[in-house]
């Protein structure tokens, strides 16, 4: 990295109150303040947001695709965690 | 000529011309900005200003006639906003001086109940962002590298003599001009100090710059700017676009 | 869109050298299966080197096209003939910078930095769309670019929203949403000219005459001469052939030109009942290859301006980086999740 390269930031935007922040994309900025401002200009110029988070990309730890199976498959065969697993007689309300 | 137009029109033109001309200058950056993210930022500011200009000029007449068919001497913008972009430091210094002024001015107009209060109330939010952008960059350029410090110092000094004009009272605006000037000086001095820059020592208005833009007296680059801006519109009289 | 972060994180388990061959086969199979099932490939997934290289080349070229494409239109910002048009044009050129940014971040998820990509653009090692090597001579060119060039780009890009590489597909969704305003403003601009004074009408017709053929060339060489097409189709990076998209574009444009009251400069253009498509004249591919090789009217000018902006901006980027290094740890923004991000 030369001294004029700016680090990469991930941008998360809350599109409206009541919703959580969603990953919108990334950008370059020299520091957090400018990252926020760049994110505002780039990702919300059509009114797409009411709140922004910026996170240095280097600070994100991601699960590895190689660990996909041990990480996620065990959750796939536990249907009893889902409400549709249970049969309820017709006509019973508020369940 | 200002004597023949109604007072609110004078003010609408003064504020509208400031916004129009600065927007045009910022538009000249398109495709030339130092980093892509700044392309987007500068265009946002230019678009805000152009939007303000259109509302203000429409208060005084037809926006396009006023923008494209007036002669140089009929424009009443500050000389500061017509100054060429120069390097990025010059553009930022111009932004710092003007957006601080515009922010303080519009905040005061928004608090009042004059004709400009509704416009000012909307614009003040836009301008707060412009001011923030200018401050952020002043801090980074002033307190960045030796090269950027020197460039920013030169830019702040070069434009300093155009800043006195901003506080010449504009007829039709109910503003505490000396109070505005004091607040501006405080705010700008504070940013410059934090940016490790010193407040320029030169005069804030020369014999020519003092209130001149508001009276239709401009600097040479402005004529060429207008020639470029107006050429196409004037080449097709009466055409619609 | 893109999480370039993915490349920097730890956690890829090491494999024995003896496992490597078998591992690659299994990974290749998993990749092929994902593509076949129309699933998206994501940044940290294993992918064939050639797939990665193709994507980097294509996304970079696309990003470069967006930022070089700012120049021919920015050429008219300072001369726009009404304030309304000026605002529209500024917003459009700004969008192009934005699209460049979305695309560079998609490319960065493949492990190539924006700096490297810009370097390759500036040194001529990566291309941008040849269409931007044509000059904008009159105001009507702004309209013709919106209608024809952006129209052709959209025809090319809409299928890319379903491209097999996730970050690219997501970037394209955003780009396409924004591009539709670009095309409509161009059409509206030309319509105003076409219905305006005789001089304005002539200006519009002249622009369409000059931009029509280069727009058709934007779909790339004919299928039988396109070197990357077949592989890209197999990988579902590309969904339709060059000729297919070109035909679709011609069919769309003919009635639009009629509504504009302008003609398309092709005497051979006519409806073919049997094919259910318009026939059109032969494209001058000699010109296409010539412009691609660098002999277009503006190749030199576009690259020179881009390099100059980059070089003249170096001190600004350095200053901000130096400032950040001096002041790291002084961040004043609110902590997300505690008090909410207070700024912007």
CB-CB neighbors (< 8 A) of A28 in chain B: 35, 37
Residue B241 lies in a domain: no
So what's the pLDDT on residue A5?
80
The DSSP H or E segment spanning B64 is helix B63-69
Minimal C-alpha gap between B176 and chain C (Å):
30
B200 is a domain residue: yes
Strand A8-14 vs strand C277-279: parallel, antiparallel, or unpaired? unpaired
Of the residues A34, A36, A45, A47, the best mutation for testing chain B's interface (the one with the most B CB atoms within 10 Å of its CB) is A34
**Spans of chain B, pLDDT less than 50:** 1-2
B140 touches chain A (CB under 8 A): yes
| CATH number of B187's domain | 1.20.1260.10
Q: Are residues C11 and A62, on separate chains, in Cβ contact within 8 Å? A: yes
The domain over range A3-65 is classified in CATH as 3.40.50.720: no
Domain that holds residue B180: 2-235
Domain total for chain B? 1
Indicate the residue of A28, A33, A45 with minimum beta-carbon distance to B37. A28
Query: Is B67–C83 a contact, with Cβ atoms under 8 angstroms apart?
Result: yes
Question: What burial class does residue C333 get, using C-beta atoms within 10 Å of its C-beta: 0-12 exposed, 13-18 middle, 19+ buried?
Answer: middle
pLDDT above 90 for A50:
yes
Q: What are chain A's partners, defined as 3 or more CB pairs within 8 angstroms?
A: B, C
The two structure tokens encoding residue C118: 């810009």
Of A1, A27, A64, the CB nearest to C12: A64
Interface test with C, best of A9, A30, A64 (most C CBs within 10 A): A30
Taking the C-alpha atoms of residue C68 and residue C47, their distance in angstroms, rounded to an integer, is: 30
Q: Chain A: nearest CA to C328, how far in angstroms?
A: 8
What ipTM was estimated for this complex? 0.95
Q: Percent of chain C having pLDDT more than 70? A: 89
The larger pLDDT score, comparing residue A50 to residue C336, is at: A50
pLDDT digits (tens, 9 = 90+) for C191-239: 999 999 999 999 999 999 999 999 999 999 998 887 777 888 889 888 8
What subunits touch chain C, counting only 3 or more CB pairs under 8 A?
A: A, B
pLDDT at C190: 98
Model confidence at C171: pLDDT above 60: yes
CB contact under 8 Å between A37 and B132, yes or no, is: yes
Q: Is B190 on the interface with A (CB under 8 A)?
A: no
Task: Give the separation between CA B218 and CA B212, rounded to whole angstroms.
Answer: 7
Task: Please count the residue pairs, one from chain B and one from chain C, whose beta carbons lie less than 8 angstroms apart.
Answer: 140
CB neighbour burial string for A58-92, b if at least 16 within 10 angstroms, e if fewer: eeeeeeebbeeeeeeeeeeeeeeeeeeeeeeeeee
* % helix, strand, coil for chain A, step of 5: 35, 20, 45
Cβ separation A61–C9 shorter than 8 A? yes
Concatenating the DSSP letter of every residue in B165-201 gives GGGSPPTT----HHHHHHHHHHHHHHHHHHTT-----
Total beta-carbon pairs less than 8 A apart between chain A and chain C? 119
Q: Which residues contact B117 (CB under 8 A, 6 or more apart)?
A: B109, B110, B111
pLDDT of residue C74: 98
Q: Verify whether the Cβ–Cβ distance A33 to C343 is below 8 Å.
A: yes
The predicted-structure confidence for C50-76, as pLDDT tens digits, reads as follows: 999 999 999 999 999 999 999 999 999
At C344, list the tokens: 């912007």
**pTM of the predicted model, to two decimals?**
0.91
What pLDDT does residue B208 have? 63
B144 CA to chain C: closest CA distance, Å?
Answer: 4
Using CB atoms, pick whichever of B36, B47, B88 lies closest to residue C90.
B47
Q: How do residues C118-148 score in pLDDT, each as one tens digit?
A: 999 999 999 999 999 999 999 999 999 999 9
> Considering CB atoms only, which of B31, B50, B51 is closest to C70?
B31
List all residues of chain B from 115 to 144 with a beta carbon under 8 Å from chain C.
Answer: 139-141, 143-144
Q: How far is C4 from chain B (nearest CA, A)?
A: 17
Q: Is the pLDDT of residue C328 over 70?
A: yes
Task: Show residues of chain C in contact with B46, CB under 8 Å.
Answer: 90
pLDDT level of residue C1 (50, 70, 90 thresholds):
very low
Task: Establish if B240 belongs to a structural domain.
Answer: no
DSSP codes of every residue in C224-241: GG-SSHHHHHHTTS--S-
- pLDDT number for residue C19: 58
Calculate how close chain B gets to C314, using CA atoms only, in Å. 7
Which of B25, B33, B43 best probes binding to C when mutated, by most C CB atoms within 10 angstroms?
A: B43
Please tell me the distance in Å from B207's CA to the nearest CA on chain A.
Answer: 39
Structure confidence at residue C38 (pLDDT): 92
Which of B21, B19, B24 is CA-nearest to residue B51?
B19
- Measure the CA–CA gap between B92 and B137, rounded to whole angstroms: 7
Residue of C nearest to B24 (CA): C78
Least confident of A78-87, C34-43, C236-245: A78-87
For B116, other C-beta atoms within 10 Å of its C-beta total: 24
Sign of CA dihedral B165, B169, B172, B176: positive
DSSP state of A5: P
Give the single-character DSSP code of A10.
E
Residue in B30, B140, B228 nearest the CB of C70? B30
Neighboring chain B residues of C67 at a CB cutoff of 8 Å: 36
Give the domain ranges of chain A.
3-65
For residue C172 the two structure tokens come to: 């394209």
* Residues B2/B17, Cβ–Cβ less than 8 Å: no
The pLDDT of residue B88 is 98
């Amino acid at each position: 990295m030369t001294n004029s390269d700016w680090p990469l930031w991930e941008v998360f935007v809350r599109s409206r109150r009541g919703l959580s922040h969603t990953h919108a994309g990334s950008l370059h900025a020299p520091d957090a303040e400018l990252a926020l401002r760049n994110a505002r200009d780039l990702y919300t110029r059509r009114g797409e947001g009411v709140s922004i988070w910026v996170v240095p990309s280097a600070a994100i730890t991601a699960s590895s695709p190689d660990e996909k199976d041990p990480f996620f498959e065990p959750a796939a065969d536990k249907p009893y965690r889902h409400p549709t697993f249970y049969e309820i007689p017709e006509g019973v309300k508020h369940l | 000529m200002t004597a023949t137009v109604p007072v609110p029109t004078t003010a609408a033109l003064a504020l509208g011309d400031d916004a129009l001309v600065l927007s045009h200058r910022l538009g000249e950056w398109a495709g030339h900005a130092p980093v892509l993210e700044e392309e987007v930022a500068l265009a946002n500011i230019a678009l805000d200003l152009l939007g303000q200009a259109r509302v203000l000029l429409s208060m005084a007449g037809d926006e396009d006639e006023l923008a494209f068919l007036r002669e140089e001497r009929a424009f009443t913008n500050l000389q500061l906003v017509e100054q060429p972009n120069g390097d990025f430091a010059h553009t930022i210094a111009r932004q710092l001086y003007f957006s601080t002024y515009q922010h303080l001015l519009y905040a005061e107009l928004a608090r009042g109940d004059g004709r400009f209060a509704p416009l000012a109330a909307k614009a003040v939010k836009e301008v707060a962002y412009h001011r923030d952008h200018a401050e952020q960059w002043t801090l980074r350029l002033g307190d960045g590298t030796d090269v950027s410090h020197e460039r920013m110092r030169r830019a702040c000094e070069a434009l300093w003599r155009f800043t006195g004009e901003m506080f010449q009272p504009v007829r039709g605006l109910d503003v505490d001009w000396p109070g505005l000037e004091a607040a501006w000086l405080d705010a700008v001095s504070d940013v410059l100090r934090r940016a490790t820059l010193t407040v320029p020592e030169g005069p804030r208005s020369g014999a020519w710059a003092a209130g001149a833009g508001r009276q239709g007296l401009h600097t040479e680059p402005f004529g060429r700017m207008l020639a470029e801006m107006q050429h196409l519109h004037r080449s097709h009289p009466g055409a619609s676009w | 869109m893109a999480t370039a972060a993915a490349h920097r994180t730890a956690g890829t388990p090491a494999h024995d050298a003896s496992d490597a061959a078998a591992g690659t086969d299994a990974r290749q199979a998993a990749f092929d299966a994902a593509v076949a099932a129309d699933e998206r490939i994501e940044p940290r997934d294993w992918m064939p080197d050639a797939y990665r290289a193709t994507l980097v080349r294509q996304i970079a070229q696309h990003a470069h096209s967006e930022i070089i494409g700012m120049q021919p239109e920015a050429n008219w910002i300072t001369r726009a003939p009404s304030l309304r048009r000026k605002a529209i044009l500024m917003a459009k050129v700004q969008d192009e910078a934005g699209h460049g940014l979305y695309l560079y971040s998609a490319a960065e998820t493949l492990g190539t930095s924006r700096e490297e990509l810009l370097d390759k653009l500036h040194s001529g090692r990566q291309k941008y769309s040849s269409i931007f090597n044509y000059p904008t001579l009159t105001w009507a060119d702004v309209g013709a670019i919106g209608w024809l060039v952006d129209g052709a780009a959209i025809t090319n890009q809409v299928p890319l929203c379903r491209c097999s590489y996730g970050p690219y597909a997501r970037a394209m969704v955003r780009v396409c949403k924004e591009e539709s305003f670009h095309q409509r403003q161009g059409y509206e601009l030309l319509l105003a000219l076409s219905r305006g004074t005789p001089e304005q009408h002539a200006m519009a017709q002249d622009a369409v005459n000059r931009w029509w053929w280069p727009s058709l060339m934007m779909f790339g060489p004919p299928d039988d001469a396109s070197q990357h097409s077949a592989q890209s189709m197999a990988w579902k990076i590309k969904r339709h052939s060059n000729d297919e998209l070109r035909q679709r574009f011609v069919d769309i444009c003919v009635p639009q030109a009629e509504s504009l009251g302008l003609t398309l400069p092709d005497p051979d253009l006519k409806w073919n009942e049997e094919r259910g498509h318009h026939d059109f004249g032969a494209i001058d591919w000699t010109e296409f290859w010539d412009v691609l090789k660098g002999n277009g009217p503006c190749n030199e000018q576009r690259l020179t301006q881009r390099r100059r902006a980059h070089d003249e901006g170096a001190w600004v980027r350095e200053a901000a980086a130096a400032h950040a290094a001096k002041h790291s740890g002084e961040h004043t923004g609110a902590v997300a999740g505690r008090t909410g991000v207070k700024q912007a």
